[in-house]
Amino acid sequence: MMHKHEESARCLLCEDAPCTKACGKGDIARAIRAFRFYNEQNVWRWTAGCSDADFERAQQACIHYDKPIRISELLSDCPQGANHSLPDLDIRFCGIPCDNPFFLASSEEIRTKTF
C-alpha cells in the first residue's frame, strides 16, 4: 500500500511541470505540493474539474528519474470540497513557487567576548 505523503515527497517540484501541462484542466503540480506539505484540504482547489483520465495523462508526463509519481492514485481519492474562501498565500522565493510564505530559519549566534 502506498503511503501518500511519501509518494508526494518524491515530486521533483518541477518549475514548468509537465504533469500540469498534460492535464490541461488543473494545476497538478500545485496539488501535489499541497499534499506534500500536509495541506490536503486544498488539493481540490487546483484539481477541480480534473478526471481520472486527466490524472493518468499527468502521471504519464511525469519526468521523475526512476518512476513517475503515482498521480492518479495520489489525487483520485483526496477529500473534495476545498474551502475556496481561504486566502491565497502563494509566493515565489528564489524562483521556487511556495504555497506558504512562512519559512523557518536558523543562524549561528554571534558571541562577543568582553575582557
pLDDT of residue 29: 92
User: What structural domains does the chain harbor?
Assistant: 4-83 (1.10.1060.10)
Span 18-43, average pLDDT: 87
Q: Residue 51's closest CA among 68, 72, 79?
A: 72
Rounded Cα–Cα distance for residues 28 and 53 (Å): 13
Q: Is the pLDDT of residue 88 over 80?
A: no
CA dihedral 31, 36, 40, 43 (to 10 degrees): 0
Torsion sign across C-alpha atoms 16, 19, 20, 22: positive
DSSP state of 41: G
State if pTM tops 0.75.
no
**Mind listing the pLDDT tens digit for each residue in 65-81?**
889 999 988 887 676 66
pLDDT of residue 90: 76
